[in-house]
Homo-oligomer: A and B are copies of this chain.
Amino acid sequence: MSDSPLPCVDDLLAAAARIAPHASVTPVLQSHVLDGLAGAALAFKAEHLQRGGAFKFRGACNAVWSLDPDQAARGVVTHSSGNHGAALALAARTRGIACNVVVPEGAVAAKLANIVRHGATIWRCAPSIQAREAMCAQVQAQTGAALVHPYADPRVIAGQGTAALELLHSHGPLDVLVVPVGGGGLAAGTRLALQALAPQARLVLAEPEGAADTARSLAAGERRIDFTPDTVCDGLRTTLGAPNFTLLLGKAEVVTVPDAATVAAMRLLWQVLKQVVEPSSAIALAAILSDPARFAGQRVGVVLSGGNVDLDALPWARA
């Protein structure tokens, strides 16, 4: 989406109503042990328990159910080798429409299988962003399908924001909310949710040191997205989207986190909270534990964004 309009609070509230019949209301989890380690009161919004195993279903579902009937009849298309592809397939199925997912060669077989399992048509292409966009354009031309970008889409951003909206509704006041940032769909949506329900609360974005384009972009006041990602957080290797940047500029702090801290936090979430979360989720707790002064004594909401992990390749396993 090149010149997407920015979503506003009304779009967020409309998204919440639109996805309510389809999305799960995920629980909020707490732990005395983790509170003790952090020196803060943590409330974990369990989006790894969302349908499809990640918050991504919210945005995809909002986009799918925003289409008018004529558009919907022609289906949807996206390019994604990860959770968004599976989420869009699942969302399309709730409306009974076709879903096309452009997947680059070399994508993880398990994630590919998830996309197929939810009934989408797979289109293979070379593993470059140019090839992905070209194939997407070709599928659009051929089928008339509507493009649903993984994060730089106002409907997707509004949908992702409903996780924080639910957390603020069900849990009560928070001083700060911590979410991971990759393309910025969850981050920008969460910003809208805070604007709606907790304008005084701070937004902290947890970003891998090896993919810190959001930190650089927000510091520079312009998008700085030319880099090669190097991080265990496979969901956060994308670059910050344009509308996402605009919504976040001047409205968020960024904590950059080394992978080792993320893996340690992931292990802690498995061991103590007993939750199977992926590195791209655990980075939020890692950000808190690596910069405790920023959160000391505060009420901190944390979105656990996803739990799609390869159990045969855990990051703490000995090589």
Q: Using CB atoms and an 8 Å cutoff, list the residues of chain A in contact with chain B.
A: 27, 29, 32, 48-49, 51, 53, 267, 270-271, 273-277, 307, 311-312, 314, 316-317
Tell me, in angstroms, the Cα distance from A314 to B318 when the chains sit together: 13
Q: Is the CB of B48 within 8 A of A274?
A: yes
Q: A311-B316, A316-B311 known; A270 and B274 CB under 8 Å?
A: no
Partner of A307, one of B27, B49, B274: B274
Partner of A275, one of B32, B53, B274: B274
Q: A275-B275, A276-B275, A276-B276 known; A270 and B49 CB under 8 Å?
A: no
Number of copies: 2
Closest chain B residue, CB of each to CB of A304: B274
Tell me, in angstroms, the Cα distance from A307 to B273 when the chains sit together: 9
Q: Which chain B residues lie closer than 8 Å to A49 at the CB level?
A: 29, 273-274
Apart from the given pairs A27-B27, A271-B311, A317-B317, 7 other A-B contacts in the complex at a CB distance below 8 Å: A48-B274, A49-B273, A53-B274, A270-B311, A274-B276, A275-B276, A311-B314
Q: Is the CB of B271 within 8 A of A274?
A: no
Cβ distance A232 to chain B, nearest Cβ, rounded Å: 16
Q: Which chain B residues lie closer than 8 Å to A273 at the CB level?
A: 49
Tell me, in angstroms, the Cα distance from A316 to B310 when the chains sit together: 12
Tell me, in angstroms, the Cα distance from A51 to B272 when the chains sit together: 10
Closest chain B residue, CB of each to CB of A310: B271
Closest chain B residue, CB of each to CB of A50: B274
Cβ distance A254 to chain B, nearest Cβ, rounded Å: 27
Partner of A276, one of B32, B51, B270, B312: B270
Q: Which chain B residues lie closer than 8 Å to A276 at the CB level?
A: 270-271, 274-276
Cβ distance A83 to chain B, nearest Cβ, rounded Å: 13
Q: Which chain B residues lie closer than 8 Å to A316 at the CB level?
A: 311-312
Cβ distance A49 to chain B, nearest Cβ, rounded Å: 6
Q: Which chain B residues lie closer than 8 Å to A314 at the CB level?
A: 311
Q: Is the CB of B267 within 8 A of A311?
A: yes
Closest chain B residue, CB of each to CB of A29: B49
Cβ distance A284 to chain B, nearest Cβ, rounded Å: 16
Q: Which of A29, A51, A271, A273 has the most CB of B within 10 A?
A: A271
Closest chain B residue, CB of each to CB of A276: B274
Q: Which chain B residues lie closer than 8 Å to A27 at the CB level?
A: 27
Q: Which chain B residues lie closer than 8 Å to A307 at the CB level?
A: 274
Closest chain B residue, CB of each to CB of A270: B276
Q: Which chain B residues lie closer than 8 Å to A53 at the CB level?
A: 274
> Could you show 16 A-B contacts with beta carbons less than 8 Å apart?
A27-B27, A32-B51, A49-B273, A49-B274, A267-B311, A270-B276, A270-B311, A271-B311, A274-B275, A275-B275, A275-B276, A276-B276, A311-B314, A311-B316, A312-B316, A317-B317
